[in-house]
Amino acid sequence: MARIANLNLPSSNSHRPQPPSTAARPPPPPAATATPTPASIQSTIAAARARIEAQLKSQGIQPAPPSHPTELHPMLRGDYKPKHSTQRATLPVSSIKANQQKPKLKITHETPSLTDPTQNPYFDPSLTRRTHGPQTRRRHKQFHFAEPGQYVEQAERKRAEARMEQLKQEIAERAELARLEDEVLDASAIQFAEPPQVEWWDAPFLSEASYGSDAKFEGPDSLCTIYIQHPVPIEPPLAIRSQGVAPAQLILTHKERKKIRRQRRLEQQRERREKVMLGLLPPEPPKLKMSNFMQIMANESVPDPTKLEAEVRRQMQARQTKHEADNKARKLTKEQRHEKIEAKTKADEEACLMRAVFRINKLEHPQHWHKVTVNARQMHLTGTAISCPTGFSLVVVEGSAKNVKAYKKLMLRRIDWTMSQNDQGSVTNDLTNNECHLIWQGEIDKRKFRQFKQHTSASETQAKKWLMRAKSDELWQLAKQYDPNDSITALDPFA
């Protein structure tokens, strides 16, 4: 490059107009007489090269042979023609091998067709709608309302299929189990165990483990003793106590009764709906109310809403009147209620007839007399109430188990036996230590009294005679011997 610069070649910058300048400029070099030719340039380069080699040899340095021939620059050859005369020719010059332009790589594989996108390896079929054809605007989906009961029918169909599959599986399991049982119960596969020499219930009574040995009935290790074992008495079940009559029905809780009633009503409503769908029954008219008539009769509410409201109120009043009339028709009369109560009481008495005997220290207060007598008659109980001023008082009642239990609550809990004031506020005899005790209760075969009566006896003899009419005079002696402080004779009244 230094050699080329010393050749004083003309450049394109010499033809550009120079701006005027006020500063002093150095004098321009003398103009060449003639334009150098390529031959003269080659001769000049060869002379310079020979001169440099001579200098190197004189210094004892052997010049290196040229590795490859050096080409001339296009500007030196004279075949370079710039596009515009005003442009500066700044083409790079490859003076060394590293700066030479590398050959371009040739693509051997076939390029994908730009007209057919399916030949592209990166083609995505899912994007065809977006990339091909005219872009259409997305259409909005319309509402599709399902028919009433459509999904319910599908669910029922799936449930039926699931039940059928479960039934098939159970049948297969039972068949497999039956086959296994037949194999296990095969007579050839059963091995009977050999009987023992002595049964376990006979071993304690034998001296040795064989039936041929002597019996062991005496001695300290024998189970036979002089003592007698009395078994503990156990009450028989209700069916035996009531002479083979079992309970009429199972007693359900309030929650269970509500559940059964709800299920029964749902079943009736479903059956009626199915009959309406089949055309066996006419459909029911809509139940109009003030809260829903605008939604049900929207078309009729616009012309005359006042008339429609009046019609709705008329239907509401008709339904209320019908409801009250039905209740009144189902209501029992006074005689029918008494007959129903008597029939129920008679049925309870046939199931179980009970008797209860109460001992009262003093039965003198009028309110006590009234409560004891009136409640016994209202509960359809028979018996008697005997008051003896010299001793104690006795109350005997007979009737169904339910009524006797209610009467026990009255006598032992509800009545205040220590009350000594009457309705006028006057104080009667001192009743501070007055008490009532249940001395006997149990089942009986039949009633001994035809009705409930009260009686006042002047002595114990008259009281016994009064009880002897009903063949129950032993109750007075039982009440006389009763001791409330004795834990053995004391009864649990609500056991």
d(CA 478, CA 440): 9
* pLDDT for position 427: 54
* pLDDT for position 51: 86
* pLDDT for position 4: 45
Q: Which residues contact 403 (CB under 8 A, 6 or more apart)?
A: 345, 348, 379, 380, 381
Q: For tokens 């035809």, what's the residue?
A: 450
d(CA 352, CA 399): 9
Q: For tokens 């129903």, what's the residue?
A: 340
* pLDDT for position 82: 59
d(CA 102, CA 358): 133
> DSSP for 88-147?
--------SGGGSPPPPPP--SPPPPSS-GGGSTT--GGGHHHHSS--PPPPPPPP-PPP
| Helix and strand numbers, DSSP H then E, in the chain | 15, 5
Query: Taking the complete model, does pTM exceed 0.85, yes or no?
Result: no
Nearest C-alpha neighbor of 242 from the set 380, 405, 354:
354
* pLDDT for position 95: 57
* Mean pLDDT, the chain cut into blocks of 10 residues (495 residues total): 46 45 48 63 85 82 60 60 52 57 59 69 71 60 83 92 91 80 52 82 86 83 81 70 58 93 96 93 90 80 79 94 95 92 89 93 89 93 90 92 94 89 63 89 91 89 89 89 74 65
